[in-house]
Each structure stands twice: as C-alpha cells, then as structure tokens.
Homo-oligomer: A and B are copies of this chain.
C-alpha cells in the first residue's frame, strides 16, 4: 500500500480550508499520517501536490456531472438546463472541499505562473457552461426556451448567478439553502 491517496485526501481538505500558501507540508504530513519525506517521495514539490489535488477534484466533479445528466430522462431543453443547475447545487454540497478549491481565487499573476492549475479550473467551469448552453440550444429547438436569447451569453449569466450563490453559501457569507427554488424560478423567467 501507498500513502499517496491519503496524502491527496488530506491535502484536498487542507488546501480547500486554508488555501495553498496557508497549508504547510508539515500539516499535510500530520493529517495524512505520512512523514514529510514521504510526501517528496510521491511528489516533486508542494505545487505538484496541489496540481494532483486539482486533477482529482476535476475528475470527480466532471464524472458526477456526466453521470447525473446522462442518467436523468430529460424531455425538453428547459428541463436540461434545470437539471444542470440542480446538479451544480447538489454537487456543491456533496463535493464541498472540491468546490472550495474552485472558489479560492487565482489571480491573473498566479494563473500565468501556474497555467496547469488554471487549465484544470477552467475545464471544470467549462463543463457546466457547455452543459448549460447546450440545454438552451436544445430548448430553442423544441420551443421550451425563447428564441431571441444568446445561448452562450445566457449560459454565462445563469452560471454566474448559481455559482455566486453557491460561493456565498460555501464561504459562510450568507445562508442560501432557502433560495434554491427561487433560483430555478428566476431562471425560468429568464429563459421563457
């Protein structure tokens, strides 16, 4: 057996809670049970640990999205869009740590230096954005969504809304559990 999975699990939680700089190798070592030297046996440096954590999170999130959306039987484009939103809200609770990683800001500078980090984050965002705009296109074909609106622009706006709310909740700024129904309701207003 190897400590690698335990290290990644511990690192996921610590990076999510405290951020990259605020998480020390010593802390990951302690939480995972592996000695500090062992961390550097499995990973070249701290940044590589973070990259692997991001990859893992991306895999988990995208996997769940594909599964949830493809499993459900959707009868219209509007239902498709609503399913994506519900999935996002559902996953933000189920994969709390992974979403916290998403929400930790990566400034322009950091992203330029660590392009690999940003690529992982972007592909998670794009997964949802694409699913939303696909749903809108389908909806415009079957008539469940108004024809005049731009799929990509509206997808971005809806995503910003849902993402913004989840972020409030995730960072304990405002409680938003009671708003989930209102979100769907308002999206319907925007789309029909």
Partner-B contacts on A (CB < 8 A): 17-19, 21-22, 100, 103-111, 121-122, 125, 150, 153-154, 156-157, 159-165, 167-168, 171-174, 176, 178-179, 182-183, 186, 189-190
Q: Are B161 and A106 in contact (CB under 8 A)?
A: no
Tell me how many chains of this kind the complex includes: 2
Q: Which of B18, B111, B160, B173 touches A165 (beta carbons < 8 Å)?
A: B160
- Nearest B-chain residue to A16, judged by Cβ: B107
Q: List 22 A-B contacts (CB under 8 A).
A: A18-B109, A18-B110, A19-B19, A21-B21, A105-B105, A106-B171, A122-B173, A153-B178, A153-B179, A154-B186, A156-B165, A156-B179, A157-B183, A160-B160, A160-B161, A160-B162, A160-B163, A160-B164, A160-B176, A163-B164, A164-B167, A186-B190
| Distance A162 CA – B165 CA, assembled complex (angstroms) | 11
Q: Are A103 and B105 in contact (CB under 8 A)?
A: yes
Q: Which of B107, B125, B153, B161 touches A157 (beta carbons < 8 Å)?
A: B161
Q: Are B107 and A105 in contact (CB under 8 A)?
A: no
Q: Which of B107, B109, B163, B190 touches A189 (beta carbons < 8 Å)?
A: B190
Shortest CB-to-CB span from A1 to chain B, Å, is 31
| Distance A157 CA – B163 CA, assembled complex (angstroms) | 11
Chain B residues closer than 8 Å to A19, beta-carbon distance: 19, 21, 105, 107
